[in-house]
Amino acid sequence: MRPVYRSISRSVDKFIVVYEGATKGRKRHSPANVDLSDFNRPEYFESPELFYNLGIKMPEMTITPEHVKGGVLVSRFRFRSETVSGHEENDKVVGRIFRAREEVHGADAPCAIVIHGWRESGAFASYYYLLCWLLARYGINCVMYNQPYHGPRAPRGSHDGDLMMSADMEQTVKAFRQSVCDVRSLLTWTNGNFSGPVGLVGLSLGGFISLLTACADDRPKFVIPVIAAGDLLENIDKSIVGDTIARDLKAAGISLETVEKNWRVITPCSFKPKVSPDNIYPIAGEFDMMIPIENVESLQRKWGIERSRVMPCGHIAIGMFGRTLVNEIADFIRDRCGRGNPAATDA
């Protein structure tokens, strides 16, 4: 079956990139500033929390219950980001909370902050709803937020993620910083409102953000980057999404060497994690054309991560193994949080 999985996975990855380019469009941004040395001060690499320095203050969150489904209470939330980006829509953090069934792990159930990928509608996409709802059925609380410039946070006239990552290197650095700081705000809120251990689950770009957060904050009890790695530019020539970014950079007259220097501060592999490597569990796609498997293996070597899972799929086609993915995430969270595996076959 492996040749079949390989063929399907790569075809789906290619199709999605072409389809999104045709339907969503993508505005090409030029850099306003090519000298980002002020964002890459030596002290930031010794202590990344000095750069990602917001999110410790308890956010004033407004929660609106939506419905109860299968014993899971689903609510919407919003709060103001500590980061001021200059875009009013973007500075309102929104998302959903999925409160786990108490009969599974009780009041001390673990909580996962779930982080979506690039150019997605995030917490309001049906597949992320299903992921979080299933985890909540398994007894794991989920808090999912929309990353900067995605979904309701996208300024009028822009598409999901246009201002999150582009050839405008300074804008990209600021957006990554805001996302990490927003996650830190959610860590503060969840640790103050849930009695169980709290960690991170990030998919694709969300995986990068989860890894960056693990370098700036020691509070996550588990970190699960799914189809993500530790370096935005490593093997960029092997990534069909990376190739798109590389073309934008070339059109703006920027060398990859310049980008590598300027984006060090948003590259997880530039730092040492504050979270123990034993509590980090990468899940990768063997045939991923967006995040090559070599990138994941490189992260494991650099950080000394021994435990991981490689699935016979691509980036988008990981959805074919949706139930397996949910089980892998839930099992690692239970293992790291000292929870047993109750009979959740009715989930």
Which CATH number fits the domain that encloses residue 89?
Answer: 3.40.50.1820
Backbone φ and ψ of 263, nearest 5°: -100, 10
Mean pLDDT, residues 300-329 taken together: 93
On the question of pLDDT at 333 being above 90, the answer is yes
Residue 344 lies in a domain: no
Look up residue 114 and give its two tokens: 């779930």
Count the domains in the chain.
1
Residue 118 lies in a domain: yes
Look up residue 332 and give its two tokens: 């690692």
Residue 346 lies in a domain: no
Residue 343 lies in a domain: no
Q: Can you say whether the dihedral through the CA atoms of 277, 183, 168, 42 is positive or negative?
A: negative
The residue assigned the tokens 């063929």 is 7
Neighbours of 266 (CB within 10 A): 25
pLDDT in tens, 90-132: 999 999 999 998 878 777 899 999 999 988 888 999 999 999 9
Residue 143 lies in a domain: yes
On the question of pLDDT at 285 being above 80, the answer is yes
Per-residue pLDDT band for 17 (boundaries 50, 70, 90) equals low
Contact 345, 322 (CB under 8 A): no
Domain interval for residue 32: 2-337
Contact 114, 132 (CB under 8 A): yes
Residue 192 lies in a domain: yes
Q: 110-114, 252-256, 283-287 — which is least confidently predicted?
A: 252-256
Backbone φ and ψ of 172, nearest 5°: -65, -45
The percentage of residues in the chain with a pLDDT greater than 90, rounded to a whole number, is 66
On the question of pLDDT at 211 being above 90, the answer is yes
Mean pLDDT, residues 229-234 taken together: 83
pLDDT at position 273:
97
Q: Judge residue 14's burial from the number of C-beta atoms within 10 Å of its C-beta, 0-12 exposed, 13-18 middle, 19 or more buried.
A: middle
Residue 345 lies in a domain: no
Could you list the beta-strand ranges (E) of the chain. Answer: 62-69, 72-80, 92-99, 111-115, 141-145, 198-203, 223-226, 283-285, 309-311
Mean pLDDT, residues 252-264 taken together: 88
Q: What pTM, to 2 d.p., does this model score?
A: 0.93
Residue 32 lies in a domain: yes
- What does the mean pLDDT of the chain come to? 89
On the question of pLDDT at 30 being above 70, the answer is no
Integer Cα distance of 245 and 251 in angstroms: 10
End-to-end CA distance of the chain: give it in Å, rounded. Answer: 28
Integer Cα distance of 172 and 220 in angstroms: 24
Integer Cα distance of 318 and 200 in angstroms: 19
